[in-house]
Amino acid sequence: MKFNTKTIHGGQKLDPVYGAVMPPIYQTSTYGQTTPGGHKGYEYSRTHNPTRNALENAFSSIENGNYGLAFASGLAAIDAILKLLEPGDEVISTNDLYGGSYRLFTKIYKDFGIKFHFVNMENADNIKSYLNENTKLIWVETPTNPMMNIIDIKAIAEISKHRNTMLAVDNTFATPYLQRPLDLGADIVMHSATKYIGGHSDLVMGALIVKDKNLSDRLYFIQNASGAICGPQDSFLALRGIKTLHVRMQRHCENGKAIAEFLANHPKIERVYWPGFESHPNHNIAKSQMHDFGGMVSFVTRGNNYNEALRLLEKLKIFTLAESLGGVESLAGHPASMTHASIPKKEREKVGVVDALIRLSVGIEDKMDLIADLNQAIG
Ligand code: P1T
């Protein structure tokens, strides 16, 4: 089955009771038993729920995995991966990443005795000097949030494959429409399904997808034992979102390109970060591992001027100034004070998250309206 068919049918079957085309929202915490253990496969909704299971099957299908797991948020999904680790274990992570992931790593799991190395992985060989027998997890975000760096997933997988270490890829920015990390050698794919997967800014959710049965069993144990599952209503909404993922992504990419090019040609814009530019340092890797370049664009105003960035953000009319990304509507964010505020200023500035940086999640509105809005705000 091709991707554009999988988004609609992958892992799905007609509801066995009435043949409903969409899985019913099984809004129930528990299921009747005829005798202790005499049930129809469902006992309690933290453990299993038919609507969530339908979604988990869809996750697995679109990422070319064998098992999918749905969580209460993207961070809950990352948290489940970290619970696979033990004190003394080490993690090598991309140095540019979502501020909440950084906070979870450094403010919670560091205190449980796990050591984190934040490494610029734009050259995959850079991880070599950090790999040792304690390295149990390599954490890759690509494209990175918010600097749009591209990491070569295949190269990282090659370097780490003969070691007892897992490679997890946060595929939130790309989505499986653009890149499928399991096909490139990753062990775990993670999503903030809050973003493009849901696609309509109406839910908060996380996803993990794996190929390996043993790894799936361990993660499923954590999902059930820790309990950070998502509810049936949100599962239904995410399933509905997935059905249009390929169509939305096509337009996100088209509009993202138009906005990136408009900004790059604007005299009042200093620098634009978008992997579709031939001048992007990892453009060739992006071209080889991604199907297109996505709808996320970051930029800095002329002279690196924070006040100008602030003024621009306040003047936008169609773009909403807000956290999050990946919905049908365009959003503009200020990473330094919003999504990446939990990273110390010195650390974030090292990777380029300066006070004048603006991040756009380009939606699927008419691109001419979006360009006009940016144009009037830049002034
Ligand atoms: O918000 P939540 O669903 O828990 O997902 C966390 C997360 C994980 N990974 C990446 C790459 C993310 O971008 C996020 C959440 N990011 C935002 C809210 C944001 O505006 O960047």
For ligand 1, atom 1, which residue shows the shortest CA distance?
74
At 188, is the secondary structure helix, strand, or coil?
strand
Residue 137 DSSP symbol: E
pLDDT tens, position by position, 272-298: 999 999 999 999 999 999 999 999 999
At 68, is the secondary structure helix, strand, or coil?
strand
Can you tell me which atom of ligand 1 is nearest the CA of 78?
8
Residue where a domain stops, chosen among 216, 242, 268: 242
Mean pLDDT of 157-184: 96
Predicted local confidence at residue 36, as pLDDT: 96
Residue where a domain stops, chosen among 177, 209, 242: 242
Query: What is the Cα–Cα distance from 196 to 331, expressed in whole angstroms?
Result: 13
pLDDT tens, position by position, 80-109: 999 999 999 999 999 999 999 999 999 999
Mean pLDDT of 107-129: 97
Predicted local confidence at residue 275, as pLDDT: 98
179 and 278 share one domain: no
Predicted local confidence at residue 164, as pLDDT: 87
Predicted local confidence at residue 115, as pLDDT: 98
The pairing of beta strand 135-141 with beta strand 166-170 = parallel
Range of the domain at 277: 246-378
Question: Would the CB of 145 count as within 6 Å of ligand 1?
Answer: yes
Query: Which pair of structure tokens corresponds to residue 137?
Result: 């997890």
Report CA(34)–ligand 1 centroid distance (Å).
Answer: 43
Q: Let me know how many helices (H) and strands (E) the chain has, helices first.
A: 13, 12
pLDDT tens, position by position, 13-71: 999 899 999 999 999 999 999 999 999 999 999 999 999 999 999 999 999 999 999 99
Report CA(157)–ligand 1 centroid distance (Å).
Answer: 24
CB 207, CB 70: distance < 8 Å: yes
Which of 96, 108, 145 to probe ligand 1 with, by most ligand atoms within 8 A of CB?
Answer: 145
299 and 251 share one domain: yes
The pairing of beta strand 67-71 with beta strand 206-210 = antiparallel
Q: Domain of 293: which CATH number? A: 3.90.1150.10
256 and 143 share one domain: no
At 272, is the secondary structure helix, strand, or coil?
strand
Predicted local confidence at residue 161, as pLDDT: 87
Report CA(329)–ligand 1 centroid distance (Å).
Answer: 17
Residues noted as catalytic: 46, 98, 170, 195
At 181, is the secondary structure helix, strand, or coil?
helix
Mean pLDDT of 200-215: 98
Q: How confident is the model at residue 147 (pLDDT cuts 50, 70, 90)?
A: very high
Residue where a domain stops, chosen among 226, 242, 258: 242
For ligand 1, atom 16, which residue shows the shortest CA distance?
324
Report CA(80)–ligand 1 centroid distance (Å).
Answer: 15
Q: Which residues of 267-304 are buried (b: 16+ CB within 10 A; e: fewer)?
A: eebbebbbbbbeebebbebbbebbbbbbbbbbbbbeee
Q: How confident is the model at residue 133 (pLDDT cuts 50, 70, 90)?
A: very high
Question: Would the CB of 75 count as within 6 Å of ligand 1?
Answer: yes
At 229, is the secondary structure helix, strand, or coil?
coil
Question: Would the CB of 104 count as within 6 Å of ligand 1?
Answer: no
54 and 73 share one domain: yes
Question: Would the CB of 208 count as within 6 Å of ligand 1?
Answer: no
For ligand 1, atom 3, which residue shows the shortest CA distance?
74
Given a cut of 90, is residue 162 above it in pLDDT? no
Given a cut of 90, is residue 230 above it in pLDDT? yes
Query: What is the Cα–Cα distance from 256 to 313, expressed in whole angstroms?
Result: 18
Predicted local confidence at residue 197, as pLDDT: 98
139 and 95 share one domain: yes
**Torsion angle, alpha carbons of 54, 198, 71, 29, to 10:** -60
Helix runs in the chain, H state only: 3-9, 50-62, 74-82, 99-103, 153-160, 175-178, 213-226, 232-242, 245-264, 283-289, 306-315, 345-350, 367-378
117 and 171 share one domain: yes
Question: Would the CB of 175 count as within 6 Å of ligand 1?
Answer: no
Query: Which pair of structure tokens corresponds to residue 158?
Result: 């090659």
Given a cut of 90, is residue 77 above it in pLDDT? yes
Q: What is the pTM of this model?
A: 0.98
Considering only CA atoms, which of 362, 352, 353 is closest in space to residue 334? 353
Task: Tell me the pLDDT of the chain averaged across its residues.
Answer: 97
Report CA(172)–ligand 1 centroid distance (Å).
Answer: 8
Question: Would the CB of 193 count as within 6 Å of ligand 1?
Answer: no
176 and 270 share one domain: no
Question: Would the CB of 363 count as within 6 Å of ligand 1?
Answer: no
Q: Domain of 181: which CATH number? A: 3.40.640.10
CB 168, CB 136: distance < 8 Å: no
Predicted local confidence at residue 334, as pLDDT: 97
Predicted local confidence at residue 328, as pLDDT: 98
Residue 15 DSSP symbol: -
Question: Would the CB of 23 count as within 6 Å of ligand 1?
Answer: no
